[in-house]
Amino acid sequence: MQTSDLIRILPEIILAVAGIVVMLLGAFQKQNAGRMHPAIALLGLLGAAGAIAYQYPWRSLDPAFGGMLELDAFSAFFHILFFLVAALVVLSSSEYVAQERLASGEYHALLLFATMGMGLMASSNDLIMIFIGLEISSLASYILVGFRRGVATSSESSLKYFLLGSFATAFLLYGIALMFGATGATNLTEIHLALQAEQNTVTAMASPQLTPLVGPVPTALVGLSIALLFVGFAFKVSAVPFQIWTPDVYQGAPTPVTAFLSTGSKAAAFAVFLRVFMVALEGSAQDWVWLLWVSGLLSMVLGNLAALLQTNIKRMLAYSSIAHAGYILVAFTAHSEEGVAAVMFYLAAYALMNIGAFAVVSHFGNRGERYVEMEHYAGLGYRAPLLAASMTVFLLSLIGIPLTGGFFGKFYIFRAALHADLVWLTVLGVLNSAIAAYYYLRVIVFMYMHPAAEQIPVERVRPAMGFVLIFSMAATFLLGIFPQAVLDFASQAAALLLENLGNGVL
């Protein structure tokens, strides 16, 4: 281990330290500790972002810790996205935490640890690190989902998330085990090389006196392993047919946590999904592309159709998040540089608009999340014009109306799909976004065209929440009007991710 290795994981170290400080604060300062926690968390996130920026340009050709970590532009992009998401969630949950009397120290500490796990996921280049990063973020999320302990729905969704999550983890692990058996490696680059050379990478490491068991890669085992890995990752990104947990978990979780899961965790899962499939398994793309094709189409169709039927707005957004996973899988199916860039751009745009939408839901929900049904939103446009206007912007962006980030996100996705000759998938995807417009517009119609049935109190928007709303709105418009900067970053990262493969250098 060298100093350069430590600098590579400096962002994660900073987050872990911030998390521990948040936890310890409660032991020394009984009063006012609740106000300090968000500040420390934000400081930690800022520091971690600084540590990422310090390593610019992200073009490490000497991976840290013997190939375990790779801080390339791809992981830098996702790190910045995670920190942004976490910071927005911290800001938007300050009201919520006070209102529901949640344990503030533990809440923020777990958020920071989950973010750290996601960061590790984005930069891991070894299945062992991917697994541990995934587990850190998952375990923290299981708890965050059940954070309203006294509320039955919250602990129920935590239980469902936990049971199905560990079920999926077992599948993922089985896939990793078989991949190890086929190639003799857990490092993604080594797996790639082994699959390319069709020769396992066994070396005489453990006992030099023995001849290593070099042999051909059994393709059947690779196929099975890919299927199992796909199950594990598809669960994490909530793609059909492994989406069953999503609506229940998103509905029962505290709203800011739902925002975190649907943006941060999903992006992290896609980062790993992309890295494993595009780096390690690129050579056997013909084995997995059809899986993505089918799963992407089903996710779009089922997600959108089920969302049409919902009356609970959190549940509707949950189904819509399944549909959005489907759109992202469309770009993934293209398995090209352009496709990877489109996935990254879409994840960024989706994160910003979705966090904004959930911030509105969280604020309007009031104590105990009482007002989360569609009819509660009736007449909101007249009682709280600004809140309703920001919600409208986020929903329009989720539809993909021009001038918003969602439009360019979808545009790049379908362009990448067309360039990869996925005409049918593109057509069906575009049709699906038309269906999706219906249920998003329904909320807008409720807000502006229905009279309020009952008098629902709307609390004053506090500065932190106001900042989140304005920031997400501004960012959504910015991505919709000047998408080039973010897209260039994503394209460069994607190019770098795939270029290294060609030369076999990593």
Partner 1 sequence: MVPLSYYLILAAILFVIGVAGFLFKRNIVTIFMSVELMLNAVNLTFVSLSYSLRQLDGQIFVFFVMVVAAAEATIGLAIIITVFRNRESLNVDRIDLMKL
Partner 2 sequence: MVLHDFFFYILAAIILGGGILTITRRNAVHSAIFLVMTLIGVAGLFLHLQAEFLAAVQVFLYVGGITVLFLFVIMLVNLDEAAKQRQFNRQWGLALGCVLLLVAEVGYFLYQGRDSFSFAESSGVLLQNNTQAIAMSLYGDYLLPFEIASLLLLVAIIGAVVMAKKQI
Is 132 a binding residue for partner 1 by CB under 8 A? The answer is: yes
Helix, strand, coil percentages in the chain from 3-state DSSP, rounded to 5: 75, 0, 20
Is 96 a binding residue for partner 1 by CB under 8 A? The answer is: no
Is 110 a binding residue for partner 2 by CB under 8 A? The answer is: yes
Is the Cβ of residue 160 or residue 266 nearer to partner 1 in the bound state? 160
Choose one: 105-113, 323-331, 379-387, 470-478; the region binding partner 2 (CB under 8 A): 105-113
Closest separation between CB of residue 184 and partner 2, Å? 12
Is 9 a binding residue for partner 2 by CB under 8 A? The answer is: yes
Cα distance between residue 240 and residue 323, in whole Å: 9
Largest Cα span, the chain: 82
Per CB under 8 A, the list member of 223, 289, 305, 452 interacting with partner 2 is 223
3-state secondary structure 220-248: HHHHHHHHHHHHHHHHHCCCCCCCCHHHH
Choose one: 2-10, 68-76, 114-122, 139-147; the region binding partner 1 (CB under 8 A): 139-147
Cα distance between residue 291 and residue 293, in whole Å: 5
Per CB under 8 A, the list member of 133, 252, 379, 409 interacting with partner 1 is 252
Residue 208 CB contacts under 8 Å (≥ 6 apart), including other chains: none
Choose one: 16-24, 198-206, 403-411, 466-474; the region binding partner 1 (CB under 8 A): 198-206
Is 245 a binding residue for partner 1 by CB under 8 A? The answer is: no
Q: Which does 151 bind (CB under 5 to 8 A by kind): partner 2, partner 1, none?
A: partner 1
User: Which long-range CB contacts under 8 A does 55-64 form with residues at least 24 apart?
Assistant: 55/7, 55/8, 58/493, 59/496, 60/8, 61/500, 61/505, 61/506, 62/4, 63/125, 63/506, 64/4, 64/5, 64/8, 64/9
Cα distance between residue 176 and residue 228, in whole Å: 8
Cα distance between residue 347 and residue 415, in whole Å: 16
Closest separation between CB of residue 393 and partner 1, Å? 29
Is 152 a binding residue for partner 1 by CB under 8 A? The answer is: yes
How many residues does this entry show for the chain? 506
Is 168 a binding residue for partner 2 by CB under 8 A? The answer is: no
Choose one: 212-220, 309-317, 425-433, 474-482; the region binding partner 2 (CB under 8 A): 212-220
Closest separation between CB of residue 186 and partner 1, Å? 6
Q: Which does 48 bind (CB under 5 to 8 A by kind): partner 2, partner 1, none?
A: none
Cα distance between residue 167 and residue 265, in whole Å: 18
Closest separation between CB of residue 9 and partner 2, Å? 7
Kindly identify the residues of this chain, within the stretch 134-163, that bind partner 2 according to CB under 8 A: 135-136, 139-140, 142-143, 146-147, 149, 158
DSSP calls for 235-297: HHTT-TTS-THHHHHHHHS-HHHHHHIIIIIHHHHHHHHHIIIIIISGGGHHHHHHHHHHHHH
Q: What does the binding site for partner 2 look like in residue numbers (CB under 8 A)?
A: 1, 9, 12, 16, 20, 23, 64-66, 68-69, 103, 106, 109-110, 113, 116, 120, 128-129, 132-133, 135-136, 139-140, 142-143, 146-147, 149, 158, 206-207, 210, 213, 215-216, 218, 220-221, 223-224, 227
